[in-house]
Amino acid sequence: MKTLILNIFSTLILFGLYACSDNSDNANDKTLVDIKWDLQSFEIVGEAESDVGSQGMILIFTEDDSLEGGSRTIEGDLSVGGNSYWSNYEAGNNNSMYINVVATTKVGTPEGSRYWEYLEALANSSSYEIEGDKLRIFYDGRTKALNFKAE
């Protein structure tokens, strides 16, 4: 009888803790939302960082679980405009991240652009971390990262 009462009591405590916690899928994304993130580098984790190429990339997460962004020419042929993209995202309690790039414009990209590589990296994202004004989105099994800075 004591064992049964202890089991019921333990279950009630665990249920209460679970009910009081925020278990929404996007509980940790509040610091992601409504910030204009500017891509600073591509990284092979623990090895090296490389520049963004001839176009800068901007990323903005919104409260409705969508994101938007685009490219802008930072060097090279200034007659080539930038592209825009839109998607939905999921950011989990354990900093997991899933982005499915669903739409992009397809204007020409200047020589040296890494736009298509960038979109592929976003589509392969698995997690993220935020430190101050810096965001890292990991992809390819956390072996690579996109490094952003808040504007």
pLDDT of residue 59: 96
pLDDT one-digit tens code per residue, 91-142: 988 999 999 877 999 887 888 899 999 999 999 999 999 999 999 999 999 9
Q: Which pLDDT tens digit goes with each residue over 3-55? A: 434 333 333 333 333 333 333 344 344 589 999 999 999 999 999 999 999 89
Instruction: Read off the pTM.
Output: 0.77
For residue 5, the model assigns a pLDDT of: 40
> What contacts 24+ positions apart, CB below 8 Å, involve 116-125?
117/42, 118/39, 118/42, 118/52, 118/57, 118/71, 118/146, 119/85, 121/42, 121/146, 122/59, 122/87, 122/146, 123/99, 125/97, 125/98, 125/99
Per the model's pLDDT, the better-predicted residue between 57 and 10 turns out to be 57
Q: Which domains does the chain have, with CATH numbers?
A: 25-150 (2.40.128.270)
What is the reported pLDDT for 82? 85
With vertex at residue 99, the alpha carbon angle to CA 118 and CA 68, rounded to the nearest 5 degrees, is: 70
Assess contact for 105 and 84: CB atoms under 8 A: yes
* 124 CA to centre of own chain: 10
Q: Measured between alpha carbons, how far is 29 from 32 in angstroms, rounded to an integer?
A: 5
pLDDT for position 53: 92
In whole angstroms, what is the distance from residue 113 CA to residue 76 CA? 9
Helix residue ranges per DSSP H, the chain: 2-20, 115-123
Q: How many CA atoms lie within 13 A of 36 on its CB side?
A: 6
Contacts of 141 (CB under 8 A, 6+ apart): 126
Q: Tell me what pLDDT residue 101 has.
A: 76
